[in-house]
Structure 1
Amino acid sequence: MEERKYLTTWRKYIPVIRLHLKRSLNEDQSFKLNITDFESAGDRGKSGYTFSLAMENGKVTNNISGSAVARDLFEALKNDEAIKDFIQDKNIKISVGKSFLLTIKTTHVSAYK
């Protein structure tokens, strides 16, 4: 298991992610990540840095065990008090594609289950 190589990198992005999370209530948000930030943290080689992180009520709902980048992002998110409060009672999907564009989609959790 890798030792949280990307945690420091994600912590740098937390203020930007916090802002985009708030805005994502009105419309989907995306912004470009700096590839060199991630490459200097660890070489993912051919597997790349792409991932999808789905959360409901602050809990991960998809399998991110194979992605150190996604696991460290979730760790950084849940350690930020403002974000931890924000992600409650919401469905949030954060994904990063090959072009290093981070996308955030947020919806409120339906009260009707």
Structure 2
Amino acid sequence: MEERKYLTTWRKYIPVIRLHLKRSLNEDQSFKLNITDFESAGDRGKSGYTFSLSMENGKVINNISGSAVARDLYEALRTDDAIKEMIQDKNVKISVGKTFVFSIKTTHVSAYK
């Protein structure tokens, strides 16, 4: 298995993700990804590119070990300083569905735990 094959693709999307992440503090955001960007990076076949990535305080809180696409996205996010700062003290849920729509839902972490 080739490691990090989607990292370059996700890094191309970082400026767009950054913008939507900022906007997601006020309302849920979504935008369409270009499927050919991902198909040229690696063929996922029938399993597709769908995933859900949940983060709290910048740390993954769900299991993404089975999804190279999600793992590489997280790597791209956590290595971007602006995004790293934006996701502190937040719950961020990112998902990509079968229609290749990238969705971001952000809420503030409750101080009452």
Across the aligned residues of Structure 1 and Structure 2, the Cα RMSD in angstroms comes to: 0.6
For 1:4-53, what per-residue CA distance to the aligned partner results, in whole angstroms no more than 9, with x for missing partners? 00000000000000000000000000000000000000000000000000
Aligned to 1:85: 85
Which structure 1 residue ranges, 4+ long, deviate > 3 Å from structure 2? none
The equivalences for 1:15-34 within 5 A come to 15-34=15-34
Residue identity in the other structure for 1:35: I
Gaps of 5+ in 1: none
Cα displacement string for residues 59-108 of structure 1 (whole angstroms, at most 9, x for unaligned residues)? 00000000000000000000000001111100000000000000000000
Correspondence list, 1:7-46, <5 A: 7-46=7-46
- Number of the residue aligned with 1:67: 67
Tell me the amino acid that sits aligned with residue 3 of structure 1: E
For structure 2, which runs of at least 5 residues remain unmatched after alignment? none
- Return the TM-score normalized by structure 1: 0.99
Q: Given residue 34 of structure 2, which amino acid in structure 1 is its aligned partner? A: N
* TM-score normalised by structure 2 residue count: 0.99
